[in-house]
């Protein structure tokens, strides 16, 4: 819990009373590898912070799984459009290895908005970061070659290179596994 509180404090300094409220809202859970936390069509009710492990967001528009994001240790994740809008998710969330998380319900997030000003500031800053990350992903797909997208992935997620199948990496950077194999052979 200390690392989570430290992360939240990096966004906005938490008062003692806010720290107590927030600590009381997060629940620690262990999630086995292969667990689907949210399935496409379900509404996201929780926001997760990874203590350990790796998760991914995935979609299957034509039956083929495509990885949309990865979350690793000390990162937040959820199906954010669903969590915010209360509409069914277009993606699923999968635990790629045994994970430990702290999770908070949407109900508790809204309660914290009412009871502490710091939480609104934290969520706003997190939303800004997520928006910038999303735009950067869009720019990468529009302007970088497949090799440059792979290089960017390696730079941002070096720890995942030995943990996850190449097929997941390929779908994340928008190429086939065969193309990824060719790129890796050229290195």
Position 116 pLDDT exceeds 80: yes
CA–CA separation, 31 and 106 (whole Å): 19
Digit-coded pLDDT (tens) for 5-29:
999 999 999 999 999 999 999 999 9
Pair of tokens at residue 146: 């497949």
Q: How far apart are CA 103 and CA 29, in angstroms?
A: 7
Neighbours of 106 (CB within 10 A): 17
The pTM assigned to this predicted structure is 0.89
DSSP per-residue string spanning 80-129: HHHHHH-S--SSEEEESS-EEEEEEEHHHHHHHHHH-HHHHHHHHHHHHH
Q: What is the pLDDT of residue 62?
A: 86
Average pLDDT taken over every residue of the chain: 94
Domains, the chain, with CATH or none: 2-116 (2.60.120.10)
């Amino acid at each position: 819990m200390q690392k989570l509180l430290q992360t939240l404090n990096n966004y906005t300094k938490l008062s003692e009373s806010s720290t107590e409220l927030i600590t009381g809202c997060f629940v620690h859970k262990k999630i086995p590898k292969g667990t689907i936390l949210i399935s496409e069509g379900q509404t996201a009710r929780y926001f997760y912070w990874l203590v350990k492990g790796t998760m991914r967001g995935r979609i299957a528009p034509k039956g083929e799984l495509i990885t949309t994001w990865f979350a690793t240790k000390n990162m937040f994740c959820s199906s954010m459009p669903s969590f915010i809008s209360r509409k069914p998710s277009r993606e699923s969330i999968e635990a790629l290895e045994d994970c430990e998380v702290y999770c908070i319900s949407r109900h508790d997030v809204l309660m914290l908005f009412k009871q502490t000003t710091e939480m609104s500031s934290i969520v706003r800053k997190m939303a800004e970061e997520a928006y910038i990350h999303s735009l950067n992903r869009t720019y990468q797909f529009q302007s970088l070659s497949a090799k440059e997208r792979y290089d960017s992935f390696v730079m941002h997620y070096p720890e995942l290179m030995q943990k996850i199948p190449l097929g997941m990496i390929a779908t994340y950077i928008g190429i086939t596994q065969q193309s990824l194999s060719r790129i890796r052979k050229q290195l």
